[in-house]
Structure 1
């Protein structure tokens, strides 16, 4: 191999995407000229060890300006003495516009609206070489001969840890701080800072420094937002018309749906009058609703036996003619103590839910019946 007397890297002069370039040659001589461009540093490597380095400028190699290499090779003083070494050019400039994004969505339960969301995030970050010796030590074994390592290739090494840390921190902010996904935009700056601190240690292991880290957007699909929008609309109705009227309205909506569903089981049973107690369960607490109406329902109609047609006195539980139960079975509301029809979903007196809650054994949070995973900590709920 011919001895090289001029060392210069200009193959990517106008391309700022490169990070490390290995010079295509290893045979040099004292007296050779070394040229290092602005924003570059040239490093002499011998036996996998980073030795002497040169910043921007033009140099004539001698035993005085390559002391570490001279010590290892034992170059004699004076004359043009040949020696073998590797030369690496490193880009010292900052690369500030590196894009990142979550490939898979972050799936979690919104702490405010209690619905499952699929959250994605994307943004930019910047990095630069901070310790060229560490960088070369970690890269030399994996670098192909005479080839440049660019920022894109380097990013592939860190993409997994970067996205994993970011997803974890976003999920922690939403769950631990109980911040709704709709309100998380206000926390983007804080989360960005946390992410930068968390991933910096991983980059430092390779001699790199994270200059900046930004989350530009945290979002979720439109169909997930439609569920939240539905809840917000119902809440607005609740706030406008008041607690009791909202419960009454919802109960009538449920009765109307069940009665109109003539082809379904509920509609058939209500329409044919089979089991007055079932009718109360489907319609939600008819007795409580009727008591709140401006025009009261005649007492005789309420106490008329559905089986034999006999009219019974007020307060009678069973028909005096055939023994059929007239009044519905009731249960006591845990919040206000009032008796409510057995199959009611909400108390007609205070609006409290009558549905049994599932208690998470891990964090103690209340969950709706049928919930598979705790809305607070994600623990699988026992049947």
Structure 2
């Protein structure tokens, strides 16, 4: 009796996980009356003798004999009239785009003449990928594995990420003390290199982002000081601002009334020094030499600060 004692299968992704890229239904016979269930975000690939027979993308519940077999490449003439079912495999692929967080495990020492051992830098961000080539996926990965996880891709990416960060950070013109300003350009170059690295496995890198670069604490403090100097414009003024901040924040303090008086005196001294600087700036301005003739129109200058003929500022 045909199919005596055999029971129909439900071919479906039985252990679906968000972090699973594909899962293979295998080592089972597809028997008469079996059904295929495709859920949202899944594609089902029928394999026979290691070759793709058909790819089904629309979600639904299908009768394999009447709705699937007729569309398979070499099995479309197969009828469930044999004493055994079809010993085929079905590869379920997660079609979504995956987002993965990454971070450098160890600091990357970027060559710089300022530091003999290089500047240690850490970085973190995200990358995105998805499956885009089923033939390559089966040939390189699914042919020898029953499932594939996001963690597997992450390990492959992070194993070469340090080298790519080194490559793109070290490119000419990059300010290694302000890498965040070049984060987009660095990320774009890394994305292209990573895409080439995983291209032959059927996966494409759809995005790569650098959230931040991190320096050792002492280096970051130096960077902050340099930025403060540039912002204030003068070392003396920077020291005054630093002392004022220290007083207002309570970092410059002692105990009891004595500390209050000391803080007041210190604040008065700072104010006095700042006034001296203002007066010095005014004095320097007043000591500027006025030209005898207007540099704009050539008219002889008088007592005023502006040319009486054209209005050009003289000092």
Q: Which residue pairs with 2:60 in the alignment?
A: 57
TM-fit CA distance, 1:65: 3.3
Of residues 143, 146, 167 in structure 1, which corresponds to 2:145?
A: 143
1:1-383 counterparts in 2 under 5 A? 4-12=8-16, 15-55=17-57, 56-62=59-65, 65-66=68-69, 69=72, 71=74, 75-76=78-79, 82-96=85-99, 98-110=100-112, 116-144=118-146, 148-172=147-171, 176-177=172-173, 179-226=174-221
More relative contact order in 1 or in 2 (CA 8 Å, sep 6+)? 2
TM-fit CA distance, 1:228: 5.6
Structure 1 residues 182 and 2: CA distance shift in structure 2, 3 A: farther
Structure 1 residues 229 and 91: CA distance shift in structure 2, 3 A: closer
Superposition CA RMSD, Å = 3.5
Secondary structure of the structure 1 residue equivalent to 2:21: strand
Structure 1 residues 225 and 67: CA distance shift in structure 2, 3 A: same
Structure 1 residues 2 and 215: CA distance shift in structure 2, 3 A: farther
8 Å Cα contact 2:22-2:91 kept in structure 1 = yes
8 Å Cα contact 2:125-2:209 kept in structure 1 = yes
Structure 1 residues 181 and 152: CA distance shift in structure 2, 3 A: same
The CA deviation string for residues 186-221 of structure 1, in whole angstroms up to 9 with x for no partner, is 111121122112211222211112121100111210
TM-fit CA distance, 1:2: 5.8
Structure 1 residues 155 and 221: CA distance shift in structure 2, 3 A: same
Structure 1 residues 24 and 81: CA distance shift in structure 2, 3 A: closer
TM-fit CA distance, 1:9: 1.8
Structure 1 residues 74 and 183: CA distance shift in structure 2, 3 A: same
Gaps of 5+ in 2: 237-315
Gaps of 5+ in 1: 242-383
Q: Larger helix proportion, structure 1 or 2?
A: 2
**How many Å separate the matches in 2 of 1:194 and 1:142?**
32
TM-fit CA distance, 1:51: 2.3
- TM-score under structure 2 length normalisation: 0.62
TM-fit CA distance, 1:104: 2.7
The CA deviation string for residues 11-61 of structure 1, in whole angstroms up to 9 with x for no partner, is 32xx31111112254201354210100000111112222321212222212
TM-fit CA distance, 1:83: 1.0
Secondary structure of the structure 2 residue equivalent to 1:135: helix
Secondary structure of the structure 2 residue equivalent to 1:41: strand
Structure 1 residues 169 and 204: CA distance shift in structure 2, 3 A: same
Structure 1 residues 157 and 225: CA distance shift in structure 2, 3 A: closer
**How many Å separate the matches in 2 of 1:240 and 1:51?**
75
**How many Å separate the matches in 2 of 1:238 and 1:219?**
26
**How many Å separate the matches in 2 of 1:232 and 1:35?**
61
Secondary structure of the structure 2 residue equivalent to 1:62: helix
Structure 1 residues 65 and 235: CA distance shift in structure 2, 3 A: closer
Structure 1 residues 226 and 121: CA distance shift in structure 2, 3 A: same
The CA deviation string for residues 322-353 of structure 1, in whole angstroms up to 9 with x for no partner, is xxxxxxxxxxxxxxxxxxxxxxxxxxxxxxxx
- TM-score under structure 1 length normalisation: 0.52
Secondary structure of the structure 2 residue equivalent to 1:142: coil
TM-fit CA distance, 1:63: 7.1
Of stretches 62-71 and 126-135 in structure 1, the one that deviates more from structure 2 is 62-71
Structure 1 residues 42 and 165: CA distance shift in structure 2, 3 A: same
TM-fit CA distance, 1:124: 0.4
Structure 1 residues 232 and 213: CA distance shift in structure 2, 3 A: closer
8 Å Cα contact 1:63-1:70 kept in structure 2 = no
